[in-house]
Structure 1
Amino acid sequence: MDIQVHPGSASVSKLVSPAKVRNSSDKASDVKVSVEIQNRDEVDTVSPLLSQELDDEAGQYKEDNPVFKEDYEDLEKAMALIQAFIRKLQAQLSKLMQSVQQRHLQVQENEQAEASSDLVLVEHIGLKQYRDITKVDEIALLEQQLSEHKQLEADIRVNMIKMILAERERLEELKRKGKL
């Protein structure tokens, strides 16, 4: 089986590096600019569901065959929902896998932040063990859900390819019979 990578199929985010950072407000604005540019790039480049050629072929079949269009668009909607859920699960997993200190880090620009950073939190060992065990269980559950949804995504992709191949064969058969 040959795997081909098409020029538009992989999205590469652009990194914006500021020339000089003078103070913290300049740094914050530079970070916002880079995030905005990356988000705009993600919106502008819609990655193909299968490959550029198969997506173009499916688009042509959707114009010619209303039944194919309806069924294929249903699969596209299901794919979009599953991909959104996969992204949500991946975000939850990455948040759970961060250390407790990283999860609660926030940038605060006031004097109260400096005073509260001097406090040391004492945690009961039983509470820590309970939290760690439940965290591990939650991560395992989320990983299982993630793998199930990735399998569903793969099944939908297979069904989309089968639909395209079936429509291609149907049109070739009509051409051979001279009806098209």
Structure 2
Amino acid sequence: MLPIRPNNKKLHNKKLSDFEDVIGYKLPQEYIDFLTEYNGGDPENTIIELPNSEILSIAITDLFGIGIEKINDLKTNFKIYKEIIPKGYIPIARTEGGNLVCLAGDNGHLFFWDHEIDDIENKDLLPIANNFEDFLEMIKSVTGEDLEDYEVEEVWVDPDFLAEMKKNGLLK
């Protein structure tokens, strides 16, 4: 697995149990194992190449944990996004540009969610991986030389989304 700088707060079983009560199901064991060891974290200079033609790659900026700083806390992010992302998914990581990686509660699959899609009822979630271990294996370390062929084509942030992030204390 790619080196990830773990969160400095250890996962407490009570907080994990409380979070599972909030979401209404038990998290996949491989994800619990990750939380136990890292409790979120920061992968630096990473990229994931996606198996679709719409979005070719994403860069993970933060992996969420439980009982940590508000901006990267699973419970906080779940509460913020539960009415925005499709039901049955929890946000587990943030990508560059403020998009999310979500875990499907029914089968443990991982998806990319783009906050710029306006249709809440029919948001398209792009498949990333069948399980958390596969997701971690997809994260590749990159250098500036690796990114020479990548170019930012366009950047836009929905003003309502930005206001919501500021309201919840996730941005200054």
Task: Tell me the TM-score range normalised by the shorter chain.
Answer: under 0.3
State the structure with bigger RCO (CA 8 A, min sep 6), 1 or 2: 1
Length-normalised TM-score, structure 2: 0.22
Length-normalised TM-score, structure 1: 0.21
Task: Give 1 or 2: higher helix fraction.
Answer: 1
Task: Give 1 or 2: higher strand fraction.
Answer: 2
